[in-house]
Amino acid sequence: MPTKGTRIGPYEVLGPLGAGGMGEVWRAHDARLGRDVAIKTLPALLAREPELLGRLRREARLLASLRHPGITTIYGLEEIEGQGYLVLECVEGPTLAERLEEGPLPIDEALEVCRQVAAAIEAAHKSGVIHRDLKPSNVKLAPGGEVKVLDFGIGKAMVRRDASVTLTVDATRTGAIVGTASYMSPEQALGEAVDRRTDIWSFGCVLFECLSGSRTFDGQGFAVTVGLLTVVSCVEHVPPPAKGAS
């Protein structure tokens, strides 16, 4: 795993930028072009899992297919001794999640931030890609008011079947639940096939949090949140009462 001073191809690692359950991000310097980059890799315990390395490669291809100023740019993919490293644009500034720790955003700021998020997600959808993990910690507030959507690690290309666009929830196991519970649509939380509307649901949760400072769904743990979403899903599918029924 990278440490300060490690070289990954032509890049010299400067230090950690962040980490999550499925990835670690490091700041590195590209001396050839005189710029810093962000390098994303799998956590040490998962780095050599073929399935997850394949997911990293898919993320690289998805990002390479996207062209929008509100989506972080990919510079390349390095594979060294069986480990994969995404080389990404290094976006300065706090995440939206860090900003929300200070409280809700003023209405004008919230609308501008979410306008840019919506534009980025719409561009991804037009390119046939669903994000599936849109949340404040995957949104960066860059200097100058620019907003960037990050981390397409569980994103997936959409496929067309009979004029409808759908998506299998997991790239390798249909029905597996991936995403972040508090921002998942009911169908995603239930492990069902989803389409671009799952991102629209997540976007609504982000907008609500920007305006209120609180999560739309904030159950005590994953199971409670999924339970709430299951109830919502069931209510959505309850047929209206028959005419004349009491």
Residues annotated as catalytic are 133
Residues 100, 22: Cα–Cα separation, whole Å? 23
Which residue is it, tokens 């196991």? 173
3-state secondary structure of 17: strand
Contact 70, 117 (CB under 8 A): yes
Q: Which element (helix H / strand E) includes 86?
A: strand 83-89
CA neighbor of 80 nearest in space, from 48, 102, 52, 103: 48
The SS3 of residue 130 is strand
Contact 15, 4 (CB under 8 A): yes
